[in-house]
């Protein structure tokens, strides 16, 4: 359709507020395409046939469902609501995550994850909590093995002092952080209280990066009511810069480890 209109990939990228790399990946079938992008491209290419556009939307939906269904995470009911994120996490080469209030999921212990799930009161069916905990632990396999994920974490000191599940649960959780901090593929920093006001106070986020040349970073944000995906170059660059600013305000890893040990001794 694009070539039939004598348009370049740069024209499509401009219509999507994205990069040429993203357009190339969509056209090669390397990544799924979202409904708003289909509509934007049809408009750019002068395609106004509603029935044709509906067929494209249906095909795209089928493709997204097929991609989700092919992953290991399907055996865990607790991951179905996060299937798209976990699918990206599974093929990513690195994650940068900033957490204000909780320990990141990839670093949680089973008891911490369980206490968090019970405490936030968001589960209508209590029987779903254990599958959720199991699925969260399964995700942590990405931190080891033949192609371990490069993980950079900055977590606020308040998250480490919050008694999620009680003192014993937090002792185990802090011990887990100390263990993971020894892995060469993990960089762990703590944002101390004494940092004062900082640019990451309003929300947590994760930046997902991939090895493929030209691949776009994806920014993932969870809110109380929805999940946000930010995929434009502008959003990726803005959050990458934001993460760097947060990281500069965080303690160095060896100092972070000392602080975690100090908090652990207080419990």
**What pLDDT digit, counting tens, does each position of 81-102 carry?**
566 677 777 778 899 999 999 9
Q: Largest Cα–Cα distance of the chain, in whole Å?
A: 68
Tens digit of each residue's pLDDT (9 = 90 or more) over 57-67: 887 776 666 55
The span from the first CA to the last CA of the chain, in angstroms, equals: 63
Q: Residues of the chain whose pLDDT is less than 70?
A: 28-30, 62-84, 122-124, 212-215, 223-226
- pLDDT of the residue at 214: 63
- Residue 109 has what pLDDT? 97
What is the model's pLDDT at position 213? 63
Q: What is the pLDDT of residue 257?
A: 98
CA angle 182, 140, 191 (to 5 degrees): 55
pLDDT digits (tens, 9 = 90+) for 33-49: 788 888 888 888 888 88
Does the pTM exceed 0.95?
A: no
Which domains, and CATH codes, for the chain?
3-69 (no CATH), 76-266 (3.30.870)
């Amino acid at each position: 359709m694009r070539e039939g209109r004598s348009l370049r990939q740069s024209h499509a990228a401009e219509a999507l507020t994205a990069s040429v790399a993203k357009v190339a990946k969509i056209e090669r079938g390397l990544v799924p395409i979202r409904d708003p992008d289909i509509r934007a491209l049809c408009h750019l290419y002068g395609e106004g046939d509603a029935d044709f556009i509906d067929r494209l939307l249906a095909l795209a939906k089928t493709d997204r469902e097929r991609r989700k269904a092919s992953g290991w995470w399907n055996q865990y009911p607790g991951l179905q609501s996060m299937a798209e994120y976990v699918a990206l996490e599974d093929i990513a080469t690195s994650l940068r995550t900033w957490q204000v209030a909780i320990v990141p999921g990839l670093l949680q212990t089973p008891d911490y994850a369980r206490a968090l799930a019970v405490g936030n009161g968001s589960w209508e069916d209590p029987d779903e909590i254990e599958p959720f905990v199991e699925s969260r632990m399964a995700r942590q396999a990405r931190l080891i093995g033949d192609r371990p994920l490069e993980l950079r974490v900055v977590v606020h000191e308040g998250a480490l002092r919050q008694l999620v599940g009680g003192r014993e649960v937090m002792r185990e959780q802090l011990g887990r952080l100390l263990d993971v901090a020894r892995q060469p593929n993990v960089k762990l920093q703590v944002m101390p209280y004494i940092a004062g006001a900082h640019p990451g106070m309003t929300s947590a986020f994760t930046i997902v990066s991939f090895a493929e040349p030209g691949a776009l970073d994806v920014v993932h944000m969870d809110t109380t009511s929805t999940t946000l995906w930010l995929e434009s170059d502008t959003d990726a660059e803005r959050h990458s810069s934001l993460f760097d600013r947060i990281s500069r305000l965080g303690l160095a890893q060896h100092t972070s480890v000392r602080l975690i040990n100090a908090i652990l001794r207080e419990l």
